[in-house]
Amino acid sequence: MINSALILAEVVSATLCFILVRFMIKPYQYTGESRYLGLPLGFALLGVSYLFMGLALYFESYLFVEELKWLQLFTQAYAFAFLAATYYFSKKAYDRTRLRWEITFAWLIIAVVFSYLIAFEPPFFGLPTYKTVDEFFRAFNIICVSYIAIHALRSHASKPDAKTIWIPLSYLLLDISQYSFLIWSLDSSFSAFVGAHFLRLGGLLVFLFVSYQSFYRSHEVSQKEGVLNEKAPT
């Protein structure tokens, strides 16, 4: 019963991430600028990481389950790294930082591929235990998401908007979720484990609400502008 609930939580989390990708890919489709790839790619990797964990829970008695767990670990860390890099470069002049962003993007892609090779072809010197690496990666995730939340909060403070306050809140929920997973890993707190899943789902749902509102509002504005243009005298 518990295992089924956990699998469902992972599948729902992955689904929410993939829906978010649909909204977040639009700026890149409109502009073609590579700096807008970070958000959709980050959430796509996040969704894939949840799928890996869901598969690991479903096939828990199979031999390849360890590889799935390692893949989940690497994929989730790179997802938050992509998101943090995207927010870092977002406030800088694109013409001056384009090369640095593309280099960062390329190195992250190389790191993803290299990590996946390690998961399936472990090096001769061996890797630390999954639990140890998981705790370090959780700490890394917390740092990344904390940076993003602070960055988003500063952006809101510079241009206050009733809707943009939800963005740092959603990242904060994801941040506390990672912290709760770390607590669970350290002392096996079941309440922290359950809370981490609810916090994660809450953060993703808030994100989906904001993304839908932004898309709907921009779509509505474009439709009104089209109507006005059609009525304007030639």
Domain boundaries, the chain: 2-224
Which pLDDT band holds residue 1 (cuts at 50, 70, 90)?
A: low
Which pLDDT band holds residue 33 (cuts at 50, 70, 90)?
A: low
In the block, residue with structure tokens 């504005």: 221
CB 207 within 8 A of CB 170: yes
Length of the chain in terms of residues written: 234
For 220, other C-beta atoms within 10 Å of its C-beta total: 10
How far is it, in rounded angstroms, from Cα 97 to Cα 100?
5
Residue-wise pLDDT for 209-223, tens only, equals 888 887 766 554 444
Q: Does 43 score more than 90 pLDDT? A: yes
Residue 150 makes CB contacts below 8 A (sequence gap 6+) with: 168
Which pLDDT band holds residue 19 (cuts at 50, 70, 90)?
A: very high
> How many secondary structure helices (H) and strands (E) does the chain include?
8, 0
Residue-wise pLDDT for 154-165, tens only, equals 887 877 777 778
Dihedral sign from CA coordinates of 159, 164, 169, 175: negative
Mean local confidence (pLDDT), 172-193: 92
Q: What is the pLDDT of residue 91?
A: 66
Instruction: Show the tokens assigned to 221.
Output: 């504005």
Domain 2-224 is classified in which CATH homologous superfamily?
Rhodopsin 7-helix transmembrane proteins (1.20.1070.10)
